[in-house]
Amino acid sequence: MAKRSEVRVGVDLGGTKIHAVAIDGDGRVVGAARQATQSDQGYRAVLERVGEVARSAADEAGVKWKAVEAIGLGVPGPVDAKRGVILMAPNLGWEPSPVAADLAAIIGRPVVLGNDVNFGGLGEATYGCARDQASAFMAFVGTGLGGAFVRKGKVVNGAHGYGGEIGHLPAPFDDAKCGCSRQGCLETTASRGGIARLLREAAARGAKPRIDLSGGLRSSAIRAALDQGCGVTRGAVERCADALAWGLVVVAHVVDPDCFVLGGGVVEGLGGSFLQRVAKTMAAGSALHARSAPDLRLAELGDDAVAVGAAVAAGGR
């Protein structure tokens, strides 16, 4: 059983769910809790719910709330970590807000605020698949594309909180409109949203993908279409993988990490074959990786990654 002084609490605040974990000194999850975000109820109601979920995780770990020195909170948007301010959170409908101070006032504990993908990367670098490496770049491929660079146990946030934001690189693929209001960002191709766009465009040209495009596209549906031999879906997935590989080559030639960690729903759903395509395209497009194959790894922590990384950050404040 973990010593109470070793237990740290981290929270992953997403657009649909709030997930909290308590971890021990070896990174094992010893308590967890989850609730729906219900962002339509407003900013303060969401923060109060974050506090409830964090307390529930601590309770499950057998730790009294007053023994929790701080909590980490990963949020879906860029942050000013020093000031504890979220700069943009379209999935929550929030304006720039002093989240760390406002949540600390509600729960009575200090709060360490960070971007969710950055904390996911920190979790993988500390207790996940990159724990044996001095540096790692994480790419999380879901509805969009998030990235994080971790070096010697520290997230490289950058001067303006945008470090690792690979999804918004201006990319040479399409001029599709991005959620950030610009056109042609990498995530408009290298993401599940990008795959959905490519499939819709193919269908408009007369192709017939074996996949239902009437609602939100799930990674499991992409996998099923591939298993059924759908060439249209395979083409869209390969284009997504090739675009991601282009982005990782850019990263490699700027910071040259020891390894790359790939996670998120698309990667979890498609697995090793997706990584193989990415590695092949990286080798074809990079003098560096033509000589030395990129070290690509599947993320290990799954849904816990962000909350675990947030707990790590809380312990190192």
Tens of pLDDT, residue by residue over 279-295, are 999 999 888 888 889 99
Q: Cα separation of 305 and 221, whole Å?
A: 24
Cα distances from 124 to residues 12, 201, 230, in angstroms, run 14, 35, 33
Rounded average pLDDT over 286-309: 92
Task: For residue 2, name the pLDDT band (cuts at 50, 70, 90).
Answer: very low
Residue 87 has a pLDDT of 87
Q: Torsions phi, psi of 94, nearest 5?
A: -100, 145
With a cut of 50, say whether residue 1 has pLDDT above it: no
Task: For residue 317, name the pLDDT band (cuts at 50, 70, 90).
Answer: low
C-alpha angle 22/26/29, rounded to 5°?
A: 30
* In the chain, domain spans: 4-121+304-315, 132-299
Task: For residue 174, name the pLDDT band (cuts at 50, 70, 90).
Answer: confident
Asked if 123 and 315 count as a contact pair (C-beta separation under 8 A), the reply is no
pLDDT tens sequence across 75-96: 988 888 889 999 888 778 898 9
Q: Cα separation of 152 and 142, whole Å?
A: 26
Hey, do 4-121+304-315 and 132-299 end up sharing a CATH topology, with the first three levels equal?
yes
Alpha-carbon 181 to chain mean position: 21
Q: Cα separation of 316 and 154, whole Å?
A: 10
Q: In CATH, which superfamily holds the domain spanning 4-121+304-315?
A: ATPase, nucleotide binding domain (3.30.420.40)
Q: Cα separation of 297 and 230, whole Å?
A: 27
Sign of CA dihedral 202, 204, 206, 207: positive
CATH T-level assignment (fold) for domain 132-299: Nucleotidyltransferase; domain 5 (3.30.420)
Q: Cα separation of 107 and 292, whole Å?
A: 49
Establish how many alpha carbons lie within 13 A of residue 289's alpha carbon, considering only the half-sphere containing its beta carbon: 26
| Tokens found for residue 152 | 């010697």
Rounded average pLDDT over 183-212: 94
Q: Report the percentage of the chain scoring pLDDT > 90.
A: 76
Between 303 and 161, name the one with better pLDDT: 303
Residue 147 has a pLDDT of 93
pLDDT tens sequence across 222-256: 999 999 999 999 999 999 999 999 999 999 999 99
Task: For residue 5, name the pLDDT band (cuts at 50, 70, 90).
Answer: low
Q: What is the DSSP letter of 271?
A: T
